[in-house]
Chains A and B, each alone.
Chain A
Amino acid sequence: MSGTGKDSKGKNVNRTSQESSGTNNSALTAARFEQELKNAPADVQEKLRALLQQMAVSDGSGSSASGSGREPKSMEEHKFWKTQPVVKHDEVVEEEGPIEMNVARDQVRATPYPLPKEFEWTLVDVEDDKEIKELYELLTLNYVEDDDAMFRFDYSAEFLKWALQPPGWKKSWHIGVRVASNKKLVAFISGIPQDLRVHTTVKRMVEINFLCIHKKLRSKRLAPVLIKEVTRRTHLEGIFQAAYTAGVVLPKPMATCRYFHRSLNPKKLVETGFSHLARNMTMARLIKLYSLEAETSTPGLRLMEDKDVKAVAALMNKYTADFDVAPQFEEADVRHWLISRPGVVWGYVVEDPETKEITDFFSFYSLPSTVINSPTHETLNAAYSYYYAVQTPSEELSKIADENERKVARANAIKPRLVKLMRDALILARRHGFDVFNSLHLMDNALYTEELKFGPGDGYLHFYLYNWRCKAVESEKVGLVML
């Protein structure tokens, strides 16, 4: 934890244009920058994004030097990724497809990769309360932090069960490492199966998530062996492509999306250091600025039920067809991922009061963060925007020949509805006790964030494919949300 980070930030910073009383030059610059980005060729865009991100980092009052994530990548990491079937940083993808050929099952290494002798492999049984608790503790104490080590993700045990047991889940993909002598769980990596469409190709892939190594054992260099082992086990199941996300830049992002944050409890966000008051911004005005109506406004809005699954699956697959990368949800996936689970995920549908048809849906999930070393607050309750769908007039849009015109027409057609729905999502999230509502700038999220007073975050999420060459995807063409 940086000694200077909090003080220097707390003193005089201004985080969103709405919070600023005067003109916010940097927000304007960033907006203009984003505009420039959109007009640039894809590879230039990526470089500019990286630059923008670096600027965002260096903006962080230099305190990021103490953070864990943004150090220059180590030789080991570089050496490791060099051997993996991933797109190289300087590579321009002309044709999409696998990087390595599939391997016949009897050609896949039959035994687990050897660990250093003091460790042993284990499977974490997520249906066993004791083991899920061990996993929860490993992640809570050692998983992702922000750059200043002020917050750390705090996935709940219920959340982990939800995340790790979708339809088709495999026990052999919940891979742990224990210290041989005392059986302590010190590392974890997981995969879940998911049909993913990348441009026009639909592939059975594995989504890799929750790679975590005990922070005191980072020097044991276990990450590469965990990655190799989960790869081996997906090969054994006949799957050769994977999708994963990371806050860090690895070879090579398929897409990069910025986080946006909507304050629901601005005072707590300021007190925990999540956001900051501009010099001439008063707390009183800040509270007023982010106040929301008590009731939702969309007629027919209600929690999603099992009977809605079919309609929601149809809505979702129609809506996500507009994106370049999107999961293909079967009804079982919709049932698993989008029906509300207490404290984990909330799914809402809009049922037309007259026709009784399901016209839209949205969802968000809960991912709290532990507030590290705060005297007043233990937990920051964050809701994350998840999947949603609104009606798109696809037929009319398809008649517009010019791509840009079509894009504008599409945005105009869905924006008012989307803003209305997401305002209701904010109201519901606040009612459920969330302090902040987070959205990545993927899907059509950029259409509602400004109007609903989201502010840009200092974080970006990079999307990666393993063993699949893919042309760069614009952030608003990403239709995949990973937990």
Chain B
Amino acid sequence: MLQARFDSASAFMASAKKLKLPSSTKLALYADYKIATEGLCTQPRPSMIEFEKSAKWKAWTETGERYVNELKAAAQVATRDEQEDAARLELPILAMVSYIERVEGGQWGWKFDPTESNAGVTTTGDQDLDELEAYLGTDMDEISAEEMLARPFVPVEGHMEGPATAGISTMAFSTEDDTGYDPLEPAKSGSVEALQSALTNNPELISLKDDMGFTMLHWACDRGSLEKVKLLIETYNVDVNVQDADGQTPLHCASLADWPAVVAYLKSLPSVDQSIKDNSGMTAEECLE
């Protein structure tokens, strides 16, 4: 009967979120509820800056200590061990009684109806099941599964997703040897706009060569960015037949990296000399064989 009254009262409180209760009342209810359902507080003390958690932890811990002392004092038994036992057994009962008194005394509209008692949450006596119920939660405010499915996906942080997460491995990489400024970077990656603004800020970049003799056009051809290739050639008039340290032209680069659209574009330009041979004596066409 006590259990049923307690379940009814706690279910009522869980659904009566609109009540504006002073936090001291809320904390007292919280402490009684936790002791009634979980016993003494065994959780580690939360950090000081977590105000709400700290307050709850304090209320739960201190109320528990107070009850234990009361029960020990009241226990009509001799030894200390027996006192402990009595306190442990009676602790949830004391907390439930206290909780119900608070809910009744608050006059927030709860009245116990004995006919509803079967509907309340009761412990099953099956430890596995009780554990599970604790994980599954009985929060009345939770949105239904159907509604959740209808909503757009929002990642939920910190919820258990099972052992299967973080499974797909991709190539590991490090940035260690790629640090420092690389003036040709905008030709290799990033947007066309970024390349354009880099060239506006520093027009000399169009003829700059790196230690392999690559120009921006070489890199743009190697990376297959038709937009960048066009920008460099049509807006900045870069040398289309420039050769790198191995004698390769941008056309060699685009051919070797197999970018058909870039190759076709370069070949369509009268200014591109397709007969240029690299240091191994091969034209862009011959390189592919």
Contacts and interface: CB of A to CB of B under 8 A. Distances in A.
Contact of B222 (A59, A221, A283): A283
Nearest to A273: B170
A23 interface: yes
Interface residues of A, number: 108
A459 B168 contact: yes
B157 interface: yes
A83 B165 contact: no
A279 B178 contact: yes
A302 to B, nearest CB: 31
Contact of B174 (A14, A228, A247): A14
A452 interface: no
Contact of A59 (B168, B174, B179): B174
Nearest to B254: A284
Contacts of B135: 76, 79-80, 221, 224-225
A118 B253 contact: no
Contacts, number: 252
Interface in B134-164: 134-137, 142, 144-146, 148-149, 151, 153, 155-164
B245 interface: no
Contact of A275 (B156, B171, B214): B171
Given A13-B175, A221-B137, A250 B257 contact: no
Contact of A80 (B160, B212, B223): B160
Interface in A241-273: 244-248, 250, 259, 261, 267, 269, 273
A200 interface: no
B145 A118 contact: yes
A224 B171 contact: no
B165 A109 contact: no
Contact of B131 (A68, A83, A179): A83
Contacts of A214: 149
B289 interface: no
Contact of A68 (B144, B146, B165): B165
B256 interface: yes
Interface in B165-187: 165-179, 182, 185
Given A13-B174, A26-B176, A186 B149 contact: yes
A357 interface: no
A225 B136 contact: yes
Given A59-B172, A153-B167, A225-B132, A22 B160 contact: no
Given A74-B159, A261-B169, A275-B170, A143 B258 contact: no
Given A16-B171, A274-B171, A282-B222, A143 B164 contact: yes
Contacts of A115: 136
Interface in B55-80: none
Contacts of B158: 71-72, 74-75
A224 B132 contact: yes
A404 interface: no
B178 A278 contact: yes
A114 interface: yes
Interface in B216-251: 219, 222-224
Contacts of A20: 177
Interface string A87-114: 0000000000000000000000100011
A366 to B, nearest CB: 15
Residue in B174, B189, B256 whose Cβ sees the most chain A Cβ within 10 Å: B174
Given A7-B190, A216-B153, A228-B132, A267 B166 contact: no
A70 interface: yes
Contacts of B256: 282-284, 287-288
Contacts of B167: 69, 144-146, 153, 246-247, 459, 461
B178 A76 contact: no
Contacts of A59: 172-175
Contact of A116 (B136, B153, B173, B253): B136
B102 interface: no
Contact of A179 (B136, B145, B157): B145
Contacts of B219: 282
A76 B256 CA distance: 54
A184 B257 contact: no
25 contacts: A10-B189, A11-B190, A13-B174, A22-B177, A23-B177, A25-B176, A59-B172, A69-B166, A113-B129, A114-B129, A119-B145, A146-B166, A181-B146, A217-B145, A220-B136, A223-B161, A224-B160, A246-B163, A246-B164, A247-B166, A261-B171, A282-B256, A283-B223, A283-B256, A464-B163
- Nearest 4 pairs of A and B residues by beta carbon: A459-B169, A69-B166, A144-B167, A284-B256
